[in-house]
Amino acid sequence: MNEACFKNLTKDQCYSLKTYEASGGYSVWRKILKGELTPEHIIDELKASGLRGRGGAGFPTGLKWSFMPRHSDGQKYVVCNSDEGEPGTCKDRDILRFNPHAVIEGMAIGGFVMNASVGYNYIRGEFMEPFYRFEDALKEAYEAELLGQNINKSSVNFDLYTHLGAGSYICGEETALLESIEGKKGHPRFKPPFPANVGLFGKPTTINNTESFASVPEILSRGGQWFADIGVENSGGCKLFSVSGHVKSPANFEVPMGTPFKDLLKMAGGMRDGAKLKAVIPGGSSTPVLTAEVAMTMTMDYDGIEKAGSMLGAGSVIIMDESTCMVKVLTRLAHFYYDESCGQCTPCREGTGWLYRILKRMIDGNGKQCDIDLLLGVQGKIMGNTICALGDAAATPVESFLRNFRPEFEYYIEYGKSMVKG
């Protein structure tokens, strides 16, 4: 437990440069400054580590970094996505608060590998405490001559800045995030071109999640194989899981990939008040909901969760006990996507409104039995028909809630009240 991003969690002033350096922090970056590491070596180690993008998509980080045209002329950028806002997800906030230097070092290493001399860390607008913590860490790093131009006469340049959001879930989508840094509405871009070719300010750009960047220094200092061995096949290393909902001790846990779900549940103190587990959303609100029976046999890794019928996403585990009304939960999620749809694509802009309004009338006691088919019809029309993944993210829960808990919806429509409690 706590092997990478949370390594220093229990130490005094875990966020300070002093604590970070005392535990080997910036040793990889200093090697780079001394010319002892090559970009190729770093990419090989990352590939060997099995690190996959921690923001939700799970794309192999080493491969992503190798896509950047590092030898092309002109400015290139590395961007960190700290626009955390998927319901259930709150791990990047803790990385920024408790280990900001790992993010800085990871981004600097990324800058070196991809020949990008400027980086931006996009922090969501509400995260003011993490923002100040990160800014303080940046100041420390500049003062220690770890960032800047011709750092320590190494001819390596890396300047790092924070960009603050202003309240928008969609800006966590990487191309919307780039638009946002450019001072525009967060409307996702068509792909291709991909950011590696045309990204921030039209220049080649690589965007990684906060946890991905923060994992890089530890991987390189202890070796890709070390990280891979912590996890299981196809899911290298350890990963932060945010366990929230009806558990005794909700918290973020950094555990090896492949940890059985039931062990993770135990770490979070088990079910609150001895209640019975009913349902689990394993990877954040956009991932399919699972029944207790399925969840209890699942392991927490990409393949394990996929086998159970869902996705690892950002590792945001939402636990629901038997007192939970699934109609109410789905209505709340539908409201979220309705609220956060950027409005660019018709299927999502209109469809999320339809989903929410149908569910709302159900909750208000005015549902009709044909509403279930209507919901499925609308979600099917959103799925796959939008520029970005928010459309799919809005549609996915609807399908999985209805598949796993359909009788609850039928009961609600029939009697105008919840099957679970009054």
Partner 1 sequence: MISIDAKKQIDAWIAKYPKDRKSSAVMQALKIVQAENENNLSADTIQAVADYLDMPGIAAQEVATFYENYNHKKVGKHVIRFCHNISCMLNGADDLIAHLENKLGVQTGKVTPNGFISVKKVECLGACVGAPMFQINDDYFENLTADKIDQIVDNLK
From the list 16, 75, 291, 418, which residue makes contact with partner 1 (rule: CB under 8 A)?
A: 75
Q: Where are the alpha helices (DSSP H) in 144-278?
A: 174-181, 210-222, 224-230, 261-267
* Type of residue at 297: T
From the list 66, 180, 208, 210, which residue makes contact with partner 1 (rule: CB under 8 A)?
A: 180
Residues 329-388 that bind partner 1 (CB under 8 A): 329, 332-333, 336, 339-340, 342
Instruction: Using DSSP bridges, classify how beta strands 259-260 and 299-300 pair: parallel, antiparallel or unpaired.
Output: antiparallel
Helix (H, G, I), strand (E, B) or coil at 259: strand
Token pair of 83 as six digits: 């626009």
Under the binding rule (CB under 8 A), the answer on residue 398 touching partner 1 is: no
From the list 50, 56, 85, 236, which residue makes contact with partner 1 (rule: CB under 8 A)?
A: 85
* Type of residue at 7: K
Nearer to partner 1, 209 or 242 (CB): 242
Nearer to partner 1, 45 or 174 (CB): 174
Under the binding rule (CB under 8 A), the answer on residue 81 touching partner 1 is: no
Q: Which long-range contacts (CB under 8 A, 24 or more apart) does 273-276 make?
A: 275/246, 275/321, 275/322, 275/323, 276/321, 276/322
From the list 57, 251, 374, 389, which residue makes contact with partner 1 (rule: CB under 8 A)?
A: 251
Nearer to partner 1, 320 or 402 (CB): 320
Nearer to partner 1, 63 or 166 (CB): 166
Nearer to partner 1, 220 or 319 (CB): 319
* Type of residue at 246: H
From the list 38, 63, 201, 225, which residue makes contact with partner 1 (rule: CB under 8 A)?
A: 201
* 19 Cβ neighbours under 8 A, 6+ residues apart: 8, 11, 12, 13
Under the binding rule (CB under 8 A), the answer on residue 15 touching partner 1 is: no
Burial annotation 290-317 (CB, 10 A radius, 16+ → b, else e) = bbbebbeebbbbbebbeebbbbbbbbbb
From the list 55, 106, 165, 351, which residue makes contact with partner 1 (rule: CB under 8 A)?
A: 165
Under the binding rule (CB under 8 A), the answer on residue 310 touching partner 1 is: no
Under the binding rule (CB under 8 A), the answer on residue 148 touching partner 1 is: no
Helix (H, G, I), strand (E, B) or coil at 158: strand
Under the binding rule (CB under 8 A), the answer on residue 129 touching partner 1 is: yes
Token pair of 238 as six digits: 């350890």
Token pair of 314 as six digits: 């950002």
Q: Count interface residues toward partner 1 (CB under 8 A).
A: 56
Give me the count of residues in the chain: 422
Nearer to partner 1, 85 or 391 (CB): 85
Letters for 206-245 (x = contact with partner 1 by CB under 8 A, - = none) are ------------------------------------xxxx
Q: Where are the alpha helices (DSSP H) in 4-87?
A: 17-22, 27-33, 39-49, 61-66
From the list 13, 161, 403, 414, which residue makes contact with partner 1 (rule: CB under 8 A)?
A: 161
> DSSP code of 173?
S
SS3 content of the chain, % helix, strand, coil (to 5): 45, 15, 40
Under the binding rule (CB under 8 A), the answer on residue 174 touching partner 1 is: no
Nearer to partner 1, 48 or 251 (CB): 251
Under the binding rule (CB under 8 A), the answer on residue 103 touching partner 1 is: no
Cβ–Cβ contacts within 10 Å for residue 234, how many? 16
As a whole number of Å, the end-to-end CA separation of the chain is 42
Nearest to 419 by CA among 321, 280, 326, 281: 326
Under the binding rule (CB under 8 A), the answer on residue 181 touching partner 1 is: yes
Under the rule (CB under 8 A), what is the footprint of partner 1? 75, 84-90, 92-93, 120, 124-129, 161-169, 180-186, 201, 242-246, 250-252, 281, 285, 316, 318, 320, 324, 328-329, 332-333, 336, 339-340, 342
